[in-house]
Amino acid sequence: MNLRLRMSKKRRRILITNDDGYASDGITALFKALDKVANIFMVAPDREQSASSHSLTLNRPLRVHQLDKRRFTTDGTPTDCIMLALHLLFKKKRPDMIISGINHGPNMGDDVTYSGTVAAAIEGSIVGIPSIAVSVVGWEPGMSMTRAAAFVVKLLAFYDKLKLDPAVFLNINLPPDNGRAYKKFEFTRQGIRHYKDLIIRKTDPRGKPYYWIGGHPKWKNMKGTDHETVRRGVISITPLKLNFTDGESLERLKIVNFNL
């Protein structure tokens, strides 16, 4: 699918956040690009919060630091950022849209459940605000995020035409930047990803073991998924929603009888 649609004349009020921290290349490029077409506000973590998932900070108070009139940081998670934005900082005038990213690395397949980037979009969808999570696969330090941010701007031109349910948000994964503008994208489903050797054991200088959670990912080969699409060099856009209920199983279980 190609991007050849006119930009909407409506100037949205957009809240941005991420899980890589407020000074990351991704959110910096996103703010700069969106600032030309929308009213942008930022509430982002003051440090790295990758893999924080949909967690909230409940065991200590949160601190908020104002960088300028439109940018705030906090020592919490991406979900904390959305909570603070919607229920405190911009309570009187909520955003029309929430965009989380641009993440330094992929958020595809089963990894969406670990992602702080995706979780921020989930939080937006819970309260019915159109939300988008954006990630660049294969990102490396020094790689430009300008073209990825430009794609997000183009996406806004036809977002309203998608007519998404308020509970649905978009999870976008872009292939590595190759120096040319992104043009092709496909709507995809979530892939399946498992890890081999998930726990990595190391030994410190005193001979005591310590552990890293990591390992090598192994993808299930399925056509039309986020991973398969990005692997072909095409942008993946996956509609997601928080409700994990399996409707098919639920209907089957309703007719099962148990004697207790």
CATH number at residue 171: 3.40.1210.10
Q: 143 in a domain, yes or no?
A: yes
For the segment 203-260, what is each residue's pLDDT rounded down to a tens digit?
999 999 999 887 777 888 889 999 999 999 999 999 999 999 999 999 999 988 877 7
Q: 199 in a domain, yes or no?
A: no
What is the rounded average pLDDT of the residues 134-161? 93
Q: 200 in a domain, yes or no?
A: no
For the segment 101-111, what is each residue's pLDDT rounded down to a tens digit?
999 999 999 99
* Residues of the domain holding 119: 13-192+223-241
Q: 141 in a domain, yes or no?
A: yes
Domain count, the chain: 1
For the segment 163-193, what is each residue's pLDDT rounded down to a tens digit?
999 999 999 999 998 888 888 999 999 999 8
Q: 260 in a domain, yes or no?
A: no
Q: 213 in a domain, yes or no?
A: no
Q: 259 in a domain, yes or no?
A: no
Show the beta-strand stretches assigned E in the chain: 13-17, 39-45, 64-66, 71-74, 97-104, 131-136, 168-174, 185-187, 193-196, 199-203, 209-213, 216-219, 235-241
Q: What is the pLDDT of residue 7?
A: 46
DSSP assignment letter at 118: H
Q: 250 in a domain, yes or no?
A: no
* 3-state SS assignment for residue 238: strand
Contacts of 5 (CB under 8 A, 6+ apart): 154, 157, 158, 161
